[in-house]
Structure formats: C-alpha cells, structure tokens
Structure 1
Amino acid sequence: MPDIIIGLILGMVEGLTEFAPVSSTGHMILVGHLLGFQGTDRASTFEVVVQLGSILAVVVVFWKRILNIVGLYKLPEEGTDGQKGHLNALHILCGMIPAVVVGGLFHDYIKHKLFTANTVLIGLVAGGVIMILAEVFRRARPKATSLDQVTYGQAFSVGLFQCLALWPGFSRSGSTISGGLLVGMNHKTASEFTFILAVPMMVAASAKDLYESWDKLSIHDLPLFITGFVTAFVVAMLAIKYFLKLIDKVKLTPFALYRFAVAVVYGLLVL
C-alpha cells in the first residue's frame, strides 16, 4: 500500500480518536495491524509524528486558554464567576504529576510489553466498564461547571485516573473524563480539562520518543510523515469541536458500548 494512503488512513484514525474516549493508541495499533504497518522503528516514529498533529489541533482550538495559563493572555471573563481563582499552571502540574511518575518508572515495560493487540482489547473493555461506572456514580450536581471552578484536588484526582491510560486501550480521554465526573466536574468541563492537560503530557512524551528515534528518520519517509501529520491535525480540529458539543448530549455510555463492539469484532476477525 502506498505511503500516502497509509498516512491518510492512520492520520484520520489518530485525529478522530485521540480526544474521543475510545483510545487512539488502541485504534492505531489495531488498524496498523490490519494494514501490516507495525513493529518497526518507522511505524513507531510515525505514531509520534501524527500525535504531534493532534496536539497542534488542541493548541489552535484552546490557544487563548493555554496562553492564559502561562500568563501571556488575559481572558475577558476571568474573575467574573465568583471563584477565588482560575485555571492556572499549578492545576496542570497537579494533573501531570501522577502519570509522569508512573510513566517514568514503567516506561520501558509499557513500551515493550503492553503495545500488543491483546492488551489493547483488554484495555478497551476495562476502560469501557470504568466509563459506565463513572456515569452511574457521577455527582448529580457537579461542583465544577467551568474550567475556572476546577480545584487543585480535582486536578490531581484526574491525574490519578490518567495513569490508567498508560495501559494501551484504556484511553487518556476516557480515563480522565471519567475521573473528572467522579470528582465533581460536568461533562464539558472534564472534557476541556482533559484536552488542555493532554498538551504538556503528549508534547513531553512525543519529544522524548522523537529524540530517541531521530537517527532512524529518513528523507524518504517525509511523504508518509507529512501526510499523517496534516491529516491528524485537520481531523482532530474538527473532532474536538464536534465532541465538545456531543458529550453533553450523549454522555460516555455510547462510547463505552462502541469500545465493547470494537473489541468483540476485532477479536473475532483477527485473534
């Protein structure tokens, strides 16, 4: 299959699934397996490149909020909601610490032992169960209905749930949105916090992987990488905006059922 076609397919998969609670890593592994594009340094580096395309989409969609967090932009509505503070860099740090520690300790094991179709199927099912439980036990009256109402404790709790996403198939979005619901955020706030939290996490992880893979890059891979990066960026931009409108209406349960269906169909067809 031509590189550009592979780049288009996997770029679309990455863009559609990175910020939906269905596990982009899981889908990339499963689709890559079907395309025969896996298990090589080239494939691993490509996954990093397309993730950067998705990260850029978040930066573009939330650029005002991100600049506000780092103190380079003042939001007009800041301080008008009666809260003592607003979302800042310490919230993001609280959300990052658990996964940074756990991911750093078990990085090699995760990278070399868990990136298989079998572990992804387990993660899809287990993550779907957690999402349904989050809907069942979420607070009827959320305490945080906007990003500026998120507390440091809530941010840290979401960070603990993010550790689940280190297992391929669990989904960063699925884990953190579920955690947000359980600690008192509404669906939209949990989703927005998840997307913004993903930026430093994914940039750090992608930069590390890209640095380690730099000597394996080839000029001949540019069409594949550029196609995947651009496709992931464009599709992720559209997916983020649509998902934020959708999540308040449909909640997490339909995504959980989709995960179960994917696990069953893929298991029957391939395993």
Structure 2
Amino acid sequence: MNIIEILKAIVLGFVEGVTEFAPVSSTGHMVIVDDMWLQSEQFLTKYVANTFKVVIQLGSILAVVIIFKDRFLDLLGLKLKRRSGPTAQGEGRLKLTQVIVGLLPAGILGLLFEDYIDEHLFSTGTVLAGLVIGAIFMIAADKFRAKVPKVQTVDQITYKQALTVGLIQCFSLWPGFSRSGSTISGGVLLGMSHRAAADFTFIMAVPIMLGASLISLLKNWQYFTLDALPFFIAGFVSAFVFALISIRFFLKLINRVKLVPFAVYRIILAVIVYVVYF
C-alpha cells in the first residue's frame, strides 16, 4: 500500500462524505467513480471495493450521529433536557415510532428486491436516468411547494406525513435518484419547510444505512486484510470529516437555496458523464 493509494482513498472518502446527505445521490457518484477509478486499483477485487464503500459510508453515518446526537438521545428517551433550537421548537415532539413508520416502506421493499437492484440497477446508465428523473422531481417540489410551510420544524411532523415521506423514499432504491433528494422533495410537497424535511431525512437515514452497512460488513468481513486496512481507515476518516463539514453547511443553506440548484447540478453532471461515456 503506497501513498498514492492512500490519497485515492481520501478522495473517495471526500466524494462519499460530501454527497451522502446532499440531494445529489452519493450512490450515483460512487458508481460513476467506481467505473472511472476504483476498479482500476489492482489490489481491489470487486468484493473488497464493495466493502470499502460500506466502510466509508459508516464514516458519513457517524458524522450524522454526532451532529444529531441530542435528537437521537431524545428519541431513545435518554435525554434529560431538551435543547432549544430549530429542531426542538413547537408543541409537538418527534417520536421514535414516527421515524420507524417512515423507515418501513423502503426498508421492506429494499429487502425484497435487494438482489435484483444489486444485479440490474447499479450501472452508469441507470444512475444517469436516476439523476435526471430525480432532478425533475426536485424542481417540481420547489415549484409546487407551499409558500408558507405548515411544518416549520421536525417536531411538527405527523404520522401520516412520516408514512408518505417513507413511501416516497422508495424511489431512492433506484441508484442515482437520491435518498435525501426524494425525501426532502416529498416533505416539501407535503407542506414541510426544507429544513424540517432535511432534518427528518437525516434522522431516518441513520438506522436504515447503519443496518444495511452492518449486514454488508458481516457478509464481507474476510476482506479486512492487513493490506487493505490502511485504505479502509483513510477512506473512513476522510468520509467522516467531509460529511461533518458538508452536513453542517447544507443544513444552514437549504432553507435559503432550496432544491433547484442541486437539481441543476445533477442534470449538468448527467450530461457530462453521458458525453464522456456514450
């Protein structure tokens, strides 16, 4: 393992950390990067490469847990004093059962069609389609959103809204569509502020991503070899640091810029990749 390979791990961690929770599809970016770069590494078999992707995803998950630590403690009933702030206002209070309701649709569908999705949908072509269709959905959400959102904070979300956002999240099973892109757009269409929809998206992301990552790690534990370990560690740390920075920046920005700029970026990216590949 040389310094160049470590630098590549850091770059890949950067791609994961910056894109995982922005509505631009981290899966789409990683599939594109995989085709262009990751598979060129001789020491990375297909299985080691897939394990590496799981490891850096765990770095991004850790960043969300740290940023929303008070919220997660509150959901688990372990928080003694509620923090004042944009996610802790209002008469209501987000409940763990609401998060579970939001998780169920995509969780069930993902388990039922996991093998089919892995076999048929993880390609550059399908990702490009997901990027463009998801971008159109995001633009439509901004166009038809309520001028004054009824739900200003995540504490005001109802069970019905949680379930509907969960159903919309099923679109994100198509690589390139984006989990955050689908759920934030769906939340906005349901009358949530962009920040409330983003907070709910990030909170829902942790258990479903953590569960999927741990299952994948258990299946591929044998690929944690001494040769690949520095590559894994560098990618994990990189993804964690860049996710920590990008999530904080995104949450401050989302209510001001809305979704259209991210949608435009997705379309431009899809066009560039299409020209390069096809």
Shorter-chain-normalised TM-score: which range? Answer: over 0.9
RMSD after superposition: 1.6
Q: Of 251, 254, 257, which aligns to 1:250?
A: 257
Alignment-derived partner of residue 102 in structure 1: 109
2:136 corresponds to 1:129:
yes
Offset at residue 102 of structure 1 (A): 0.6
Q: Of 216, 222, 225, which aligns to 2:229?
A: 222
TM-score, structure 2 normalization = 0.93
CA offsets 1:125-180 (integer angstroms, 9 cap, x no match): 01000001111111222121011111111111111111111110001110000011
Q: Of 32, 37, 44, which aligns to 2:34?
A: 32
Q: Distance in 1 between matches of 2:90 and 2:170?
A: 32
2:49 corresponds to 1:43:
yes
Q: Distance in 1 between matches of 2:242 and 2:175?
A: 22
Q: Of 153, 165, 174, which aligns to 1:158?
A: 165
Is contact 2:25-2:176 (8 Å) kept?
yes
Q: Distance in 2 between matches of 1:257 and 1:136?
A: 14
Is contact 1:3-1:223 (8 Å) kept?
no
Tell me: CA distance 1:77–1:246, structure 2 relative to 1, closer, same or farther (3 Å).
closer
Q: Of 52, 57, 68, which aligns to 1:62?
A: 68
Is contact 1:128-1:257 (8 Å) kept?
yes
Q: Distance in 1 between matches of 2:276 and 2:163?
A: 40
Offset at residue 76 of structure 1 (A): 4.2
Q: Of 12, 22, 25, which aligns to 1:23?
A: 25
**SS of aligned partner of 1:228:** helix
| Identity in percent | 51
Offset at residue 216 of structure 1 (A): 2.7
Is contact 1:10-1:32 (8 Å) kept?
no
CA offsets 1:23-42 (integer angstroms, 9 cap, x no match): 00000111121114277001
**Runs of 4+ with >6 A deviation:** none
**SS of aligned partner of 1:100:** helix
2:216 corresponds to 1:209:
yes
2:229 corresponds to 1:238:
no
Q: Of 148, 170, 181, which aligns to 1:141?
A: 148
CA offsets 1:90-117 (integer angstroms, 9 cap, x no match): 1110110000111011010011211111
Q: Distance in 2 between matches of 1:14 and 1:99?
A: 21
Q: Distance in 1 between matches of 2:90 and 2:138?
A: 31
Q: Distance in 2 between matches of 1:40 and 1:248?
A: 40
**SS of aligned partner of 1:236:** helix
Tell me: CA distance 1:15–1:81, structure 2 relative to 1, closer, same or farther (3 Å).
closer
